[in-house]
């Protein structure tokens, strides 16, 4: 595992690169796209395990922090979904250069899946395949879920407090600033508009059923070639394994993703 910084001096991004083991990995590469906020914290365990498993299977892997998150430059209050899609495009170029792969596969979790889908639909020559793991189908539904999660945490459960307007407004969600501008972007997010433009090689898996899955399943079935949403009974990687204070690891989902990539 090799930690490094990439991108521009204006938008410096932190990444972790797991080179493939064995000759099979010379031209296979996967970019992992993280979820947002507290879901990023709890899912970190699963994403790390996935990265190592994929590398063992002969696939080059890059995971990185979006601008304003983790160890990348910037503040969360400066971030935007549009900017994060640009970061994914930058990471695709970096991974392609490091691995020698002409095209890259994207594996996104939750909001990361929605961002990855949009990038894949807009960059067909750069993206070979896409795996959507419990994707955010409806941004408005997801925003409501974030607020619900904040109000029902095991410790400190309370509705998300409002943030001052001079600091970007919006709300504080489980310790993460969700500015008014970002709230609006999330509310308008819609993966359905990207489905038809996704590459032929597509995997969609979910562990937690939500109301928007009906429309998502119909959109997948209507695309060319058709696809389906696979429901896997497993843990939600972005949930806290209380009281262990760690993220849950959905072993069956990780195994499915590795088999799909292999």
How far apart are alpha carbons 132 and 115 in whole angstroms? Answer: 10
Q: How far is C-alpha 138 from the geometric centre of its chain's CA atoms?
A: 15
pLDDT at 112: 98
Q: Tokens at residue 21, please? A: 């083991």
Query: With 90 as the cut, is the pLDDT of residue 23 above it?
Result: no
What distance in Å separates the CA atoms of residue 107 and residue 6, rounded to the nearest whole number? Answer: 20
The pLDDT value recorded for residue 240 is 78
Tens-place pLDDT, residues 45-56: 999 999 999 999
Reported as a single tens digit per residue, the pLDDT across 118-150 is 999 999 999 999 999 999 999 999 999 999 888
DSSP 242: T
Read off the pLDDT of each residue in 244-250 and give the average, rounded to a whole number.
75
pLDDT above 70 as % of the chain? 95
* Three-class SS of 94-142: HHHHHHCCCCEEEEEECHHHHHHHHHHHHCCCCEEEEEEECCCCEHHHH
Could you tell me if 15 and 94 are in contact, meaning their C-beta atoms sit under 8 angstroms apart?
yes
pLDDT digits over 31-43, tens only?
999 999 999 999 9
The pLDDT of residue 74: 96
Supply the pLDDT for residue 246. Answer: 60
What average pLDDT does the chain have?
Answer: 93
Query: Which among 228, 248, 230, 229 is positioned nearest to 238, based on CA atoms?
Result: 248
**172 phi and psi angles, rounded to 5 deg:** -100, 115
Cα 59 to Cα 65: distance, rounded to the nearest angstrom: 20
Q: Is the pTM of this model over 0.85?
A: yes
Nearest-5° Cα angle at 209, 239 to 142: 65
Q: pLDDT at position 156, please?
A: 59
H-helix or E-strand spanning residue 205:
strand 201-206
Q: What is the pLDDT of residue 1?
A: 81
The DSSP letter of residue 20 is: P
């Amino acid at each position: 595992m090799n930690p490094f910084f990439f991108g521009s001096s204006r938008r410096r991004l932190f990444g972790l690169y797991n080179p493939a083991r064995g000759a099979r990995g010379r031209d296979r590469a996967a970019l992992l796209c993280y979820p947002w906020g507290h879901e990023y914290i709890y899912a970190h365990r699963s994403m790390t395990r996935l990265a190592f498993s994929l590398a063992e299977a002969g696939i080059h892997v890059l995971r990185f922090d979006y601008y304003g998150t983790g160890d990348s430059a910037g503040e969360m209050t400066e971030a935007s979904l549009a900017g994060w899609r640009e970061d994914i495009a930058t990471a695709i170029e970096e991974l392609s250069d490091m691995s020698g792969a002409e095209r890259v596969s994207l594996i996104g979790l939750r909001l990361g899946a929605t961002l990855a889908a949009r990038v894949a639909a807009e960059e067909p020559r750069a993206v070979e395949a896409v795996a959507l793991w419990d994707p955010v189908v409806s941004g408005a539904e997801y925003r409501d879920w974030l607020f619900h999660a904040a109000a029902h945490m095991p410790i400190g459960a309370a509705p998300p407090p409002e943030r001052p307007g001079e600091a970007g407004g919006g709300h504080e969600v489980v310790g993460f600033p969700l500015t008014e501008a970002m709230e609006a972007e999330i509310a308008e997010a819609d993966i359905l508009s990207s489905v038809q433009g996704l590459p032929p090689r597509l995997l969609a898996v979910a562990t937690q059923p939500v109301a928007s899955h009906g429309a998502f399943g119909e959109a997948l079935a209507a695309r060319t070639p058709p696809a389906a949403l696979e429901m896997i009974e497993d843990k939600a990687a972005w949930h806290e394994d209380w009281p262990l204070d760690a993220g849950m690891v959905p072993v069956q989902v990780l195994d499915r993703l590795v088999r799909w990539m292999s």
